[in-house]
Structure 1
Amino acid sequence: MHPEQNDQLATVLRRTARDLIAHRSISDLEQSLEQIVAAAVDTVPGVDAGGISMTEHGHITSRSPTTDDVRKLDQIQAELHEGPCISAAEHPPADGVVLAADLAEEPDTSRWPRFAPKAVEQGYRSMMSTSLSANGRIRAALNLYSRTAGVFDESARTLAGLFGAQAAVLLYGVDHAAQMAQALATRDMIGRAKGILMERFGVDDSHAFQMLVRSSQHTNLKLADIAASLTADTGREHRL
């Protein structure tokens, strides 16, 4: 990249990070993703539209699309299970960026024979998708569309990769926070279950936990499920 492009990128990434913190949107996934997509569309040369594709509960959804066309094309890729976003999310290259230089004429069409004509029909000739799977748990891609063929050079590819890295860190943080919240909720549930057993059977904390473990082993249920069932049953008894 040229020095002025480096300066521009640094400025945009700093501004985006500052906005995320200032608005406390790091906890608001949708708002944060929208800011990153908007910054990428405004900064990467040649980009006309963008969005993020994310796999949730086995289904691929379009997140933060800047136009209805992008939402439609992201959905088409999900339905066909082919396209740059699928390749980037599931089989990313070393730099994480999948480039379709010309969806109408270049060999890219052989990779996505059903999707490429659909994109051209919507007026898009070039596309870049950047993997956002930072930790292997989240399957997602930042998708950048252009109506001009061959518009994305190495500089644009590098910029797309950097914005993808920023979005990947955000998604990793949200995913990690969700896992921590779930772990804390499970710990609290097990704590309440142990308290119930201690009160009912006059045992100490250690023996109460052993009772939960044995119940889990005998029923082939998770410890958390045993604890949840016990606390739910106790709650129903108290309401009777």
Structure 2
Amino acid sequence: MSSGHDAELVSALQSAAKSLIERRSIDDMEHALGQIVLAAVETVPGAAAGGISTTTDGRIESRSPSGDDVLHLDQRQAELHEGPCITASEEPPDDGVVIAEDLSNDPDAARWPRFAPHAVESGYLSMMSTQLSFDGRTRSALNLYSRRAGTFSEAARTLAGLFAAQAGLLLYGAAHAEHLTQAVDNRDVIGQAKGILMERYTVDAEQAFQMLVSSSQATNVRLVNVARWLTTDVGRPPAARTGRPSIDIRPGPTPKR
């Protein structure tokens, strides 16, 4: 690559990284993903459009498409369960990159026979999908489209891999932030439930927690759900209660000394 192209790449990656670092919410995260996609489209040789697809428990979602045509093609791949992005997400090669050199001709037209006509009709002859991440439940791919056949070179693969790595880190961080938020919420709910039991039964914090544990084990209900039931249902006036089955949460017999 030329020094000018190297500088362009560095600038694009720095811009995408800045967007990633400055995100403060889910909306900001989606904006950062969009910036990464746009930077990839502008930087990767031959790319004319792009987007990110995520697959969670078999459900495929289009993220940050650069245009309605990309959204349409992502949706077609999801509906048909066929196309380069599906292959990159579910059956990726060792390097995680799937390239359709020419969707108007074999072997690519034969490899994805139902999807290929949609891409050609939309004006895209080649496509490159690069796997972003795999965490067991969620698989993702950066998808780049070109209006020319055979346009994605080794340099294009390398550049796409760099942008895919950034997008993958962003999605990974967002998922773990969500898990941490849920953990904090669960801790707060359990704390509130312990407070209710401590006040109602004049027990200490450890005894209140053991009451929750015993109730969870006796009813085969997750501890946090027992706590949530206690804080949202028991504390309400009778007329406002949800009508869900009650959970017996009382201290056990005092052990004999």
TM-score for the superposition, normalised by structure 1? 0.91
CA 1:90–1:62: 2 relative to 1, 3 Å: same
8 Å CA contact retained: 1:132, 1:138: no
Over residues 74-104 of structure 1, what are the superposed CA-to-partner deviations in whole Å (9 max), with x where a residue is unaligned? 0000001111111112222222211111112
Residue matched to 1:183? 183
CA drift of 1:171 comes to 0.5
Residue matched to 2:245? none
For 2:236 and 2:58, the matched residues in 1 are separated by 34
Aligned residues: 240
SS in 2 for 1:40: helix
For 2:183 and 2:197, the matched residues in 1 are separated by 21
8 Å CA contact retained: 1:27, 1:174: no
Once the two structures are aligned, what percentage of the paired residues are identical? 61
CA drift of 1:19 comes to 3.8
CA drift of 1:15 comes to 2.1
Deviates more, 1:4-13 or 1:59-68: 4-13
Is residue 2:204 matched to residue 1:204? Answer: yes
CA drift of 1:154 comes to 0.7
Residue matched to 2:227? 227
For 2:22 and 2:187, the matched residues in 1 are separated by 32
Structure 1: which amino acid aligns with 2:170? L
Residue matched to 2:250? none
Structure 1: which amino acid aligns with 2:87? S
CA 1:183–1:83: 2 relative to 1, 3 Å: same
SS in 1 for 2:149: coil
Structure 2: which amino acid aligns with 1:233? D
Deviates more, 1:176-185 or 1:89-98: 89-98
8 Å CA contact retained: 1:25, 1:31: no
Superposition RMSD in Å: 2.1
Residue matched to 1:85? 85
Q: Which protein has the bigger helix share?
A: 1
CA 1:49–1:135: 2 relative to 1, 3 Å: same
Residue matched to 1:37? 37
8 Å CA contact retained: 2:129, 2:142: yes
Runs (4+) of structure 1 exceeding 4 A deviation are 1-4, 22-27
CA 1:178–1:155: 2 relative to 1, 3 Å: same
Residue matched to 2:160? 160
Unaligned runs of 5+ in 1: none
Residue matched to 2:247? none
Is residue 2:96 matched to residue 1:96? Answer: yes
For 2:26 and 2:97, the matched residues in 1 are separated by 24
Residue matched to 2:48? 48
CA 1:27–1:73: 2 relative to 1, 3 Å: closer
Over residues 108-164 of structure 1, what are the superposed CA-to-partner deviations in whole Å (9 max), with x where a residue is unaligned? 233322111221121111001111225344322111000100000111011111100
8 Å CA contact retained: 1:97, 1:157: yes
Structure 1: which amino acid aligns with 2:151? V
Q: Which has the higher Rg, Structure 1 or Structure 2?
A: 2
SS in 2 for 1:227: helix
8 Å CA contact retained: 2:57, 2:137: no
Structure 1 residues 44-83: aligned runs within 5 Å: 44-56=44-56, 58-83=58-83
SS in 2 for 1:221: coil
Structure 1 residues 85-164: aligned runs within 5 Å: 85-164=85-164
For 1:238 and 1:12, the matched residues in 2 are separated by 60
